[in-house]
Structure 1
Amino acid sequence: MIRAQNVSMMFKINHDYIKSIKEHAVALLKGKIKYEEFWALREVSLEIEKGEVMGIIGRNGAGKSTLLKVISGILKPTHGSVSIEGTIVPMLELGSGFDPDLTGRENVFLNGSILGYSESFLKSKFEEILDFSELERFIDVPIRNYSSGMQMRLAFSIAALVNPEILIVDEILAVGDENFQAKSKARMLELMSGGTTVLFVSHSLEQIREMCDRVIWLDGGKVKMIGEAKSVCDAYKI
């Protein structure tokens, strides 16, 4: 379902303090802008089979979120290639497609369309999304009046109550209060048992051990270890 071959991702970091576009253009023309190359990923390769749950672990800055964005198609790798077979739903920056001036109801259809779903499909799922989010009283209130937790709950409900072939998840089980987190986890397990292929980042080794078949450990943008979940988590903990 997912194949990444020798994926490398480089960002250019500019340490100059430039206040305006005009200053930037002048400095660029004069050749005064100097960039530092930062390689977030270096020669990362992996293959994930249909129905497999692959965990990604590593310290902050190891390249985990960058790898998810490359696989999701949000970032194009500097080198290497990624091939995907199947529909993909990336749960990365929940609510990033919301319009604050629209109501929760309107944003269900906006965000759902961004994920590639038709209006008729979203209408058929709307009540289910609403029930899962527990936002019935606020669904016709503009999103700008929602707390961050309410926005995350609505976004998760939209993404998790469709049936993607591939699910990309970045620390998603920290959404909402304790009860909603438990419900989110149960929904994730339901998707996994139903054959959805999952790529899952978490700092919780307990979650990784429980939910993943295999794990890839990233360190400084490179693959440190890849294998069965227990063995990789044990090595990482040591």
Structure 2
Amino acid sequence: MASRKFFVGGNWKMNGDRESIGSLVQVLNNGEFNPTETEVVVAPPMLYVGLVQQSLRPEIAVSVQTCHAAAKGAFTGEISPQMALDVGAQWAIIGHSERRNVFGESDALIAQKVKFALESGLKVMFCIGELLEQREAGLTSEVVIRQMEEVRNAISLAAWQNVVVAYEPVWAIGTGKTATPEQAQEVHHQLREWMAAQLSAELASVTRIIYGGSVNANNCRDLAKQEDIDGFLVGGASLKPDFITIINAQS
């Protein structure tokens, strides 16, 4: 994993207000971590992205939680990659299970969003993952590879350099259940093998595949020890001071 810089993303989801977000930014600004070893990105609610970007230490980048596959237009409630860039965001989370399963976004739409965000200049945390019934039916590999294939068909090989793949088993998000380090490693290894076969061996070796799903300060170090786990996309725990512990999971 020497060529893959550890990556920790914090997805704040629809949480926070000016006061609590200000306190969280202060924790991040005061927290100790080595930015040469770990890349850190946080994703506030869109209303607070500009505020966070202006007040957060420069070693931590800011992301939006989703964006539409168009620069402007009659898309009430949506934001464009251009708007995200305009307020200082460098990243977008696309394909999160809540966008897929709560808001009904299809694999095809998510691939279009990934493509347009990358073309617009954002980097992308591309989320994939299976439902509990799909895991219990032995369909994990089939599901995550299908989700990967949609993006493979939409973007160029060169564009993958600006993609971080986030494997998030849906049954482990916000439930307190976490895939064991061995379960997560197995899927990450399968994804890397698929990338080597379908994209290139070089891309497979340098693309970061991070894990998400009830990651916390207690389990992060064991997960980080796995060969193909290159970091985390953290939900609830990214709203707590323990997030600094997770950022330092590899150290």
- TM-score with structure 2 setting the length: 0.36
Larger radius of gyration: 1
Q: Does 1 or 2 have the higher relative contact order (CA < 8 Å, sep 6+)?
A: 1
Which structure has more strand as a fraction of its residues? 1
- TM-score with structure 1 setting the length: 0.38
